[in-house]
Structure 1
Amino acid sequence: MDFCATLFLLFFGCVLCSRFPQRQYHYVQLPMNWIGAQSYCREHYADLATFESAADIQTLKADFLYQWAWLGLRDAPQVSDTWRWSMTGETSRTGYQAWKHGEPNNYAGKENCVAMNTKGEWNDSPCNARINFVCYSVANTNHQIYHYIALSRTWSSAWKYCRAHYTDLAWIENQVENSQVLSVKPASAQVWIGLYRGPWTWSDMSQSSFRNWKTVSADIFIGNRSCAVENPLHEWSYLPCEDKHPFICQQVPRQKMVVRMKAETEADLTDPAVNAQLLQQFSAALTSGRSTNFTLRWKVQPRKQEKPRLTDPVPPSTCKGLADL
């Protein structure tokens, strides 16, 4: 049976936050470490501050009684969800990892790609280092086959080679696969695998590429100086995340948006399972569009129908769907 529906999507929250509504910033004069500041902002506001332009910075009116204040920007190689596989662009699906003790450490702030050492352990390394690498392909049985490539390449060049000749750089999700990669390479070789990360990410997962570093370059820091701070001149630097400083929170005003759609489907839109599936699809679409901080609900409102005449075919069921976001 066919069903048609007019869908009204009411968006309540932050929709496409990179453009509007404008963030509001709050200077909090409570010295905390970066994690503590993040927790405070998420509890009392929305998150630690994200800035997308110099104009955003100028909206911050703060009485800096201290030299520095935390921002939402952090370079955290020890955090597992910052590392992604080149094949999927996503974090590990199993949570498996084989880091060497003390790794990843992002030495000198330049280690954003991963190599396997002679023991099968993982090290974070500079992506412009030239070493051999391991690609993989997929057999008919969906079994991964690993291929050692005796060419000295940067991580990016190795990735392009694997994409052109095989499937991708080695993708490892368990101990068996890690052992297989170890077995195909020479015992003395260190090789690239497909694990990498994007440095300097925002606490609210914004994709903003705006930076306002001081004259000193951001790539010279060593050790755990991997959380960003701002001074009274709105210049940014980086300090150990365990230091205690005031911080800047952000709040995004909730915005309402109404979208009207009409859809025809054979599915029964009064079925809770169908409604749940539609909500999931809407949520996925909104998330991919960089919408954040929203909730989604579904309400079905039947529309009164005219009584059919005996000579007319029975009309399809008609309903309205109301989704609150």
Structure 2
Amino acid sequence: AILGNKFCFLTRCTGASGLTGFCLGSCLQFPLRKYYYVDKLVTWPQAQQYCREHYTDLATFESMDDINRLEPNISYTWAWIGLWDDPNVWKSEMGNESNSWRWSATGETSKTGYQSWATGDPDFGYSGEMCTLMVNGGQWYNGNCDVELKFICYNVTEHNLKQFVFIATLKTWSSAQTYCRMHHTDWAMIENEAENSEVRHLIPVGVDVWIGLYRVPWSWSDKSPSRFQRWGNSEPNNVEGIQHCVCENTLHQWGDERCQAIKVFICEQ
């Protein structure tokens, strides 16, 4: 059966009631991607341009089925693939791509574009800082979502206004999100200077708090989100804060690298 752009195998199965029918088995991308190694030493943007001119795009991998269809090639150490974390949509602006910053309450980027990042942030330090905290001065920093901090929720009043609430319990970002959604409307969504100031005055001196801004890093060259990843040991690590593109080795393990490094690459058709 063809579902969207995938070919899916149907298998006969019997339900609890004893009735026999067909169940959905495995699905494959249809048509199947073909991959091509290109033995040219170029930067990631140059590889992307070449693949788009001569094939379809830099290689996308959505499953082990895709990986397993790569023909053996041991003529390279590392080769560019299509995965990257475009800094233009999260370092300097509130972009609208799949790896941009967005608010917990809406799942969408800021409608006003307001931001209050501290100097040098966001920087996606160590490839693990995907959640946002605020300090007492009102500046935002990206931080590791697994750190336990106090946090700010909000309620919507009967006059459709936001009422921010300081929660003094220590929680990780995801646990704080669950708490805010259970006991309040959601957690702090800040879209102008007045709201940022209001939240800032709730924070005790010397305390850092989670707010509801987060992002999901890494997307493919064709702008599709990345749900399948094969990182090598200690990868990604974003050395010096400038490794925003991804390459793979002969074991099909992935690592992040600066986009201006020179490597061979893999295209898809």
TM-score of the pair, normalised by structure 1: 0.65
Which deviates further from its counterpart, 201-210 or 149-158? 201-210
The one-character-per-residue Cα deviations of 1:39-71 (angstroms, maximum 9, x if unpaired) are 443444333211122331233347564321111
Amino acid of the structure 2 residue aligned with 1:71: I
Q: Helix, strand or coil for the counterpart of 2:200?
A: helix
Corresponding residue of 2:189: 171
Corresponding residue of 2:258: 240
Corresponding residue of 1:129: 147
Corresponding residue of 1:37: 47
Q: Please state how far the C-alpha of 1:208 moved relative to its aligned partner.
A: 4.9
Amino acid of the structure 2 residue aligned with 1:115: L
Q: Please state how far the C-alpha of 1:189 moved relative to its aligned partner.
A: 2.0
The one-character-per-residue Cα deviations of 1:168-201 (angstroms, maximum 9, x if unpaired) are 1111222222222212222432111111112333
1:218 pairs with 2:238: no
Q: Helix, strand or coil for the counterpart of 1:135?
A: strand
Q: Please state how far the C-alpha of 1:221 moved relative to its aligned partner.
A: 4.8
Identify the structure with bigger relative contact order (alpha carbons < 8 Å, sequence gap 6+): 1
Q: State the distance in 1 between where 2:158 and 2:258 align.
A: 49
Amino acid of the structure 2 residue aligned with 1:28: V
Corresponding residue of 2:33: 23
Which deviates further from its counterpart, 56-65 or 229-238? 56-65
Q: State the distance in 2 between where 1:105 and 1:177 align.
A: 24
Structure 2 CA distance for partners of 1:40 and 1:169, relative to 1, 3 Å: farther
Q: State the distance in 2 between where 1:174 and 1:26 align.
A: 48
Corresponding residue of 1:151: 169
Amino acid of the structure 1 residue aligned with 2:183: H
RMSD of the TM alignment (CA)?
A: 2.5
Corresponding residue to 1:71 among 81, 91, 114: 81
Corresponding residue of 2:267: 249
Structure 2 CA distance for partners of 1:43 and 1:155, relative to 1, 3 Å: same
Corresponding residue of 2:23: none
Structure 2 CA distance for partners of 1:77 and 1:168, relative to 1, 3 Å: farther
Whether the 8 Å CA contact 1:38–1:48 is kept in 2: the answer is yes
Q: Which runs of 5+ in 2 are unaligned?
A: 8-27, 91-96
The one-character-per-residue Cα deviations of 1:266-287 (angstroms, maximum 9, x if unpaired) are xxxxxxxxxxxxxxxxxxxxxx
The one-character-per-residue Cα deviations of 1:209-239 (angstroms, maximum 9, x if unpaired) are 333333x232545332342211233332222
Aligned length: 237
Trace 1:175-186 onto structure 2 (pairs within 5 A). 175-186=193-204
Tell me which structure has the larger Cα radius of gyration. Answer: 1
Q: Which runs of 5+ in 1 are unaligned?
A: 1-13, 252-325
Q: Helix, strand or coil for the counterpart of 2:146?
A: coil
Q: Please state how far the C-alpha of 1:116 moved relative to its aligned partner.
A: 0.9
Structure 2 CA distance for partners of 1:21 and 1:146, relative to 1, 3 Å: same
Whether the 8 Å CA contact 1:78–1:104 is kept in 2: the answer is no
Whether the 8 Å CA contact 1:34–1:227 is kept in 2: the answer is yes
Percent of residue pairs identical: 47
